[in-house]
Amino acid sequence: MLHRVATWGAISDVRPLIEKTHDINARGGVDNTTALHHAAKNRKCDKEMIELFLLHGATVETEDSEGMESVDYAVQEKNFETAEELLKHRTDGFDCSLLHFYIKKNDLKVVKEVYENDKTSVNVVAKCGKTALEVAAQYGTLEMCLFVYNFSDVTQRASTILHYAVLNEINPSRVIEFFFSLYPNIDVRNPSYETPLHIALKVEKLVAVEELLKRGASLKDDWNAFLFCVKENKLKSAKFMHEKDPSLINQSDDAGKKALQLAALHADLEMCKWLVSLKVVVDATDRDERTVLHFVALRRSPDVELVRYFAPLVANIDQADAFHLSPLHYAIRNGSYATAKELIDQGANLRAKISLRIPLHYFISQKMHDAAKFVYENDHQQLDMTDGSMSMTCLHYAALTADVRMCKWLVELGCDVNPRMPNKATVLHYATRNRNHAKEIIEYFLQSFDLNVDVPDENNQTALHFALRNENLEVAELLLSHGANIKMTRGKLNLLHLCILHDKLNSAKFVHKKDRELIKALEFNGKTALHLAAQYAGVDVCKWLVDEGVKVSEVDAYANRTALHFVFHRKVECRDLVKFFGTTGMDFAAKDKHGFSALAHALKFGKFDMAEELLSLDVDLRSKINHYDNALQFCVAMKNMAAVNFLCKKDENLINESGANKRTALHIAAGNADVSMCRWLVNRGADVHALDQMYNNVLHYFAHRDQDNSVADHQRRDLVTFFKSKHVKLDQFNHEGKTPLHVALQLKDTSVAKYLIESGANLLLKCEGENYLLYCVQMGNLESSKLVHQMAPDLIKGCNEKGLNALHIAAQGGSLEMVKWLVGEGMKVDQVNEVDHYNVLHYATLNKKEAERLVRYFVAQRGPLNGKTDLGETPLHLALRNKKYAIAQMMVDLGADVDAKIGTENNMIHICVMDDNLEGARIVHKANPQLINQLATEKRNALHLAALYGSLEMCHWLYEMGVDPHAKASENRSILDFCGDQSEKKKFFLSLGVKKEKSLVSFLRKSFRMKKKK
């Protein structure tokens, strides 16, 4: 009954019968049809009726005895709408239109009828994602393809047609040939980046593969066809491709994986064995140094058979990749515990370290509970081990990176909650740095164990420090509630300072709310909180501190710097900070103890953006910085080309400006021997001929540069050459009468001196009457002397204005090496000064450092040891007079004549007595005791001279040496006549029995005095 009514009745007629039917799919009639087949022919069948049938269990795909479905019955009756509706409820997954459905069934007659009913359907992309032409290419005959192609929009998705053609089961060769003639790009890619060849290989359609290869399909593009087969685990296709091109097996994919590695990751044991049989390198690694076992461990589904197969084949089962992970580590991390267990059974080392960490530490740090448990279950001892770098325990790692569950598990296993690392950090220190679970972990530890929250680490930081640095205020509050000390300091850095150093405004406000005294403290270098904020924090922190009353004008205790100075010590520029301080009334011209202003700091540290902001606030470029007259000079001195360039763009007039000393930027650059800076300045108009207040030119500055300023030899030559090319005077005299060459020679810079000479410096010029050689000898500069002598040999013959030649000068103030060199160059040791007849030994006695060595050398060279000056003095006389007793004794020992007299009567004893030189007198007396009783001028003996010139001590010594105190000098003068008003001497001589006898001379003197008084 239901079958008949379903053929012609309305839904109202059908519903009662359906509800009474026990089997909606019961078949009947000759054709073995169901009620739905009959309903499909019913013109009154609509969506509602179909849904009624389906609701009661009718099946759209049920076929009659000839294999026809209800959809076919609807199409026979031209009931296309019913057919479309029925098609929607098919369960085979081919969700498509009616046209696509019959193309797939390869029923050309019905396709034509459906097309005639709706000609637009041929260009519709069905819900299954395919066009009609793509379905025809995959399922149809060539005739079907031709029909659909003739009525299709041929531009629509043409790039994918060949991908479907290779799947054709009926006649792939002809279908491929047809579509290739239309779309000859054989290597076209689909959205999955696969070519038609890849599709054919994937389904192992080798006929299609052969057809594609005939038409030029590429085997060696950037997606190797052989490797594709291996990855898809298509052994048949892989063997086919290997026969076509054996070289493909040696290539790698874009990640560097070889064929065997891809097989280990994606294929089965059979594929792997086949590849090994082809002699591929089992121990080959990919770009990340992963072995075949690494890829076995990475498989989605564990395969212990592959582990058993490859383990005996590899050289090192524990070989680590570029990330220090072994195959066992991969397996554990991948959750492939069966694979991991098999690797262990095959000899893999469970204690192999991962970047210095044992596996248990590593998997705890990766928050991998199951992996950590696996490691522990297979190696209990790792629980008590520490890492090699920081001695962290399992619990430290858990507190730092994991969660409460991990921590509790470790504690339950027996981990100590109180271990101290070498850096003295506790589990609380590490827990505060946990990004996700800090509060819960700390809460667990503090509630479960008696822990000291104020224990410091090696940097004197507590857990509270770490919490504030991470701006975890909940944790900070928790620690304070358990007794953490808010006044804890690190050196002189309190908690507020710490928050500012790390630019943590919220933490700073939190600390300040807890203790308002901390904001007033200074850190260990005498900086205020605002100084620290200016250097390390942002505008918000600085504004907050100023709002809280910190003075912007306050300077640090170390260098008198303001907050603005410290702004320019930042690693990263912050122009807004300069703007902010500009609103506070701060003195932008204030200088630190080195004379550096805020602008100086900005330029020194290359903070040009902030310097720009300073200039916009009218900071003066011409304000002195230290002893430099303007900002440009300062930057030139610092060799800061970037800063110099910045300033010259602001004001090029700075280049030639100078202060009272008339020193310019170019002078300073020359003093630094900065070739590139000098060129740059000159090219921008610097006056290369400018003289400073002391008449020094740029070459004076260059020659007088800081000797610690090491400059390559070629740079020095280049600078001299450069200045010469600009016609700078090589022989410019400064106010001391020195040329640049004098300065270079004085500073022993022979390379610069040589360049100056080679560039044309006049070697005949003199400084204070001395030629260049004498000047060098006077300075004691042997190398400079040698250079000048090499360049001008005749200068060695010259003398200065006092008659001293080079050897005289060297003897008087130079070294033995200098003297020997001069003698070696031909100078005579017997040549005397034509002005006063001093010889080298006279001068040697005056040498403060080398007198002894020089005297011995000159005597050995037959120098005139007893030669006399125009005053009659020998070198021994000079030695005694200058109280150089060691030299005098040495001269005596070397044969100096102690009998030599000045004039005809005054011997050396007399001279020593007149100089009150007791030690000298003793040396002479020891050499010749006869001299002491000889008479000097006016028949005076030595004691007479002592009474007149010497000390009481001298008188005592002479008397002890036998000099007669009773002897009379000329004109019958007694010794008392020579004492004058020296009462102590008179007493001494009277005690010796000398009588008060008035000599004629005494009488005359007394008479003269009396007459003068009248």
Inform me whether the pLDDT recorded for 1005 exceeds 80: no
The pLDDT value recorded for residue 403 is 96
Inform me whether the pLDDT recorded for 1001 exceeds 60: no
What are the tens digits of pLDDT across the range 95-127?
Answer: 788 999 999 999 999 999 999 998 988 888 877
The pLDDT value recorded for residue 116 is 92
Cβ 471 vs Cβ 479: under 8 Å: no
Q: Alpha-carbon distance 863 to 840, whole Å?
A: 7
DSSP code for 126: P
Inform me whether the pLDDT recorded for 581 exceeds 70: yes
Taking each continuous run of H as one helix and of E as one strand, the counts in the chain are 60, 2
Q: What is the mean pLDDT of residues 797-804?
A: 95
Cβ 605 vs Cβ 637: under 8 Å: no
Nearest to 637 by CA among 627, 652, 651, 650: 627
DSSP track, 339-367:
HHHHHHHTT--TT--BTTB-HHHHHHHTT
Q: Token digits for 945?
A: 């001279």
| SS percent in the chain: helix, strand, coil, step 5 | 55, 0, 45
Inform me whether the pLDDT recorded for 740 exceeds 70: yes
Tell me the percentage of the chain whose pLDDT exceeds 70. Answer: 96
Quick one: pLDDT band at residue 903, thresholds 50, 70, 90?
Answer: confident
- Residue 999: how many other CB atoms lie within 10 Å: 17
- Tell me the three state secondary structure of residue 826: coil
Nearest to 55 by CA among 83, 96, 14, 27: 14
The pLDDT value recorded for residue 556 is 93
Q: Alpha-carbon distance 205 to 186, whole Å?
A: 16
- Tell me the three state secondary structure of residue 581: helix
N-term to C-term CA, the chain = 186
Q: Token digits for 502?
A: 């790390």
H/E run at residue 489 = strand 489-490
Angle 71-74-77 from CA coordinates, rounded to 5° = 150
Cβ 141 vs Cβ 105: under 8 Å: no
Structural domains of the chain in order of their starting residue, each with its CATH number: 652-762 (1.25.40.20)
Cβ 666 vs Cβ 678: under 8 Å: yes
H/E run at residue 693 = none
Strand partners, 357: 354
Inform me whether the pLDDT recorded for 660 exceeds 80: yes
The pLDDT value recorded for residue 709 is 56
What are the tens digits of pLDDT across the range 284-305?
Answer: 999 999 999 999 999 999 999 9
The pLDDT value recorded for residue 714 is 85
The pLDDT value recorded for residue 1012 is 54
Q: Token digits for 981?
A: 């008003």
The pLDDT value recorded for residue 716 is 87
What are the tens digits of pLDDT across the range 390-430?
Answer: 778 999 999 999 999 999 999 999 999 988 778 889 999 99
Average pLDDT score, the chain: 92
Q: Alpha-carbon distance 11 to 885, whole Å?
A: 147
What are the tens digits of pLDDT across the range 846-875?
Answer: 999 999 999 999 999 999 999 999 999 999
Inform me whether the pLDDT recorded for 7 exceeds 80: yes
What are the tens digits of pLDDT across the range 939-993?
Answer: 999 999 999 999 999 999 999 999 999 999 999 999 999 999 999 999 999 999 9
Q: Alpha-carbon distance 282 to 279, whole Å?
A: 8
Compute the CA torsion angle 223, 225, 226, 228 (nearest 10 deg).
60
Q: What is the mean pLDDT of residues 501-525?
A: 95
Q: C-alpha distances in angstroms, 446 versus 439, 442, 453, 469, 678?
A: 10, 6, 9, 20, 68
Quick one: pLDDT band at residue 524, thresholds 50, 70, 90?
Answer: confident
Inform me whether the pLDDT recorded for 487 exceeds 80: yes
What are the tens digits of pLDDT across the range 151-175?
Answer: 887 665 666 899 999 999 999 999 9
Q: Alpha-carbon distance 364 to 394, whole Å?
A: 7
Quick one: pLDDT band at residue 1014, thresholds 50, 70, 90?
Answer: very low
Q: What is the mean pLDDT of residues 492-520?
A: 95
Q: C-alpha distances in angstroms, 162 versus 77, 177, 222?
A: 35, 10, 19
Cβ 190 vs Cβ 222: under 8 Å: no
The pLDDT value recorded for residue 391 is 79
- Tell me the three state secondary structure of residue 490: strand
Give the phi and the psi of residue 493 in degrees, each rounded to 5.
-90, 115
pTM metric for this prediction:
0.64
What are the tens digits of pLDDT across the range 16-73?
Answer: 888 888 788 888 888 899 888 888 888 887 788 888 888 888 898 899 998 999 899 9
Q: Which of 66-70, 350-354, 508-512 has the lowest mean pLDDT?
A: 66-70
Compute the CA torsion angle 627, 632, 637, 638 (nearest 10 deg).
120
Q: Token digits for 203?
A: 């389904």
What are the tens digits of pLDDT across the range 83-92?
Answer: 888 888 888 7
DSSP track, 931-966:
GGG---GGG--HHHHHHHHS-HHHHHHHHHTT--TT
